[in-house]
Chain A
Amino acid sequence: MAETPKPPAQATIEWPPAGRRRLIGQRISRLDGPAKASGRAKYSYDVNRPGMLHAKLVFSTQARARITAIDTSAAEKMPGVRAIHLILQPGAEVRWVGQEILALAADTEEQARDAARAVKISYEPLPHLVADVPPEQAGTERVQQLREQTEGDPDAGLQQADVIFEGEYGCAVITHCCLEAHGQVAEWNEDNLTVWASTQNVSGLAPQFAQGLQAAGIPVQASQVRVLTPVMGGGFGSKFAADTWGVACAALARKAGRPVKLMLERDHELLAAGSRPSMYARVRVGAKRDGTLTVWHSESWGTGGPSAAGTPNLPYVIGAGRNPVLPKRSRHTAVFTDIGPARAWRAPNHPQMCLITMCALDDLAAKLQMDPLDFFLKNLQYTERPEVYREELLKAADLIGWREKWRPREEALRAKGPVKRGLGLSLHTWGGRGHNSTCQVTIHPDGSVEVAIGSQDLGTGTRTVIGIVAAETLGLPLEAVTVKIGSNEYPPSGASGGSTTVGGVSSSTRDAATNALNQLLAKVAPALGVPAEQLEAREGRIQVKDDPSRNLSWKQACARLGTTPITASGQTQASLISSGVGGVQMAEVAVDVETGIVRVEKMVAVQDCGLIIDLKTAESQCYGAMIMGICYALYEEKIMDQLTGHCLNPDMEFYKLAGIGDIGELVVHMMTGPRYEERGVIGLGEPPVISPGAAISNAVANAIGVRVPYLPLTPDRVLAALEAKGGAV
């Protein structure tokens, strides 16, 4: 061919209209499901390299102390020990039990563990605080007021209220408890480093490794660091960084001249690899007799360990709207403790703010003797999306049978037998705008297609979503597309946090695939005798739009590329994404008032997230989030020993998560249809995990006639609340 025809002019990129979608919006099983279910998928944990050493960390046994000496002489002489790397030096201060002090590598895991035990660290203890106390009990040097906020006229709001409710609410510090612990395998090849890391940030890790290693005296540049995360087993916001153990692992590999694996042990995972800050609040809310809210007051606090966690914005959802403004005054104080560092936990701050707001409002509704469903419906004008929430509330009510089942608090308690039932609800919101993502699509002359993005699949279905968008755009079946993610050798994408991934990767894939297709159409247009603009890719063919009988099969079309593949890149497209979702959850619980045991019988999640790429993995996000929500609502708590400063439950026996028998029936309804889909793609990782705590707490209050103020709703707390009320009957 003498001249290459010009590609058609670029129009604004769009999603295919509803009637034209073949894959987008269907229920499609995740691409890596069989590999994961059968154990063929290789996690960082599963990577074993020839000659690989095993590393273990030695961590602080003191909640707060100065390190006076680190004696590794005995450990150095232990069998199999190859290298030791100090993370902290004598003189440094440790701030929590579990803070990393050094790492060592040995031939076998057992040798490394034995050697770690032989390291002697001497400390000069300093006073610690591991109690999750209100600011007035923490001492002035340990508190910092973060925000005082007033809107409207809260004093007038109190005057206008016919009914005022005052209550205290909160939730404990919990951990991320990733099933695949943090860690990595590091291997050097000359001056180039490869890291198989369990990370949410494959494109962003190399500079962190370079910086950390340079600080440790090992000169290496980001361009020399390859990061691989083919699959990973959960991060929830705790796996964005190279971390001390990542740098230590690479440094040990350098020193020993052998690959090194360092994955955290379960106890260390729970001690140091991330926790969610606690939040507590004293709340005063007022409303008119008809249920219309007039005012919100809150005084909140919480601990994120040694540094301040984010500032909450209370009240949550209801009262966040601007038109009208709910008069409010809120103040938040951070308490610094020695319990270990906080990390972003799925929807940072939101589950806590949601619990405090929705429980206070539910209690106010009870005092008004109103059905909370009516009460919340009545106050939707104070939200940013009244119509969405109305629709979702009514849908959820329908799915759980709210109108038939709901009884006022006192009535539920009169039910016969020790098991009382109740219903509760909650509302939530999240942003979820797509991050910056770049994608490269390659169409080979043999018809095969590759999509490469430097993103990662945390288990959410990212790989599948990318494949669906590429296949949809190219008119191919999903199997025809090979998705390549989990390497920083692919075009960079943002970290997977804050529900930003799906918007980023779906729109960059749509862009890149469209660009690649346009090149292909331009190539084959002469053969079909029409301008490229009149061609489309559908069902494995390139065809003339108005006359599909004139077509080339995909293979025939690609064969015309000769020997040169097409590559095209794409970026996040603002026209394909947006942000801001609403969700409603309702819970039905059964509470045994003699044992205090709460069972979630049924939960309903109604959620919007704009245009849904894969309905199945979207629903799966909601199921998983509700399970995670049941865990933190009923079980999870980092329990600290005040005297020694140690965490008492850094294991899976006493840090109990829900098992299959604890979960009950889960129902998910995703909002679809033109009004939702026209908004484009919005993230879903965070939203559905926000409401479970509040919905379950409200359901328990409904069942037993009294609020159990703090999560988790453990049997002793339930019994204590009942006792304070004067018993179950």
Chain B
Amino acid sequence: MAEDSVDLLLDQHGRIDDLFVRISKAAPADRGEPWRELRGLLTVHETVEEELVHPVAESLSDGTAEVAADRVAEEVGAEELLRRLADVDPESDEFPQAFKALRTAVLSHAAHEERYEFPRLKAYRSDELAALAPRVAAGLGVADDTGDDPPETIKERVAEAVREADA
């Protein structure tokens, strides 16, 4: 089964899910490491969606463009929550509540994409999704080593990886 762009995104949704579960159930001292991984992963993932995938949906007429616009708005909201959490010590007492807000926002957002946006892309733009797959894969691949890079750096690295895949 050749993996199209949506399959690649779904794979990361699964990974994002797992990390949210892991951090939610971890002892405070054990949150740091998966939290670092999740932060980088979220920035990479949403950047790829915004740069490559939502634009495909935005080119569709039957309401799909509006569906995609709603998704972008959710991503902006989630990014704001992520930014606020950046300064919170993951071992602190204030972390769980703010983290749960982010978790709810991100997981609902992913569910919305899977329910309202991706099925339409698969139904109407399957060729485009397949053609985009190498670039999506390259962009998402940045998530494998984001280290402590700040979001701006991560976004640049994603853009570069996508450009290289084009070349």
Question: Is B truly associated with A?
Answer: no
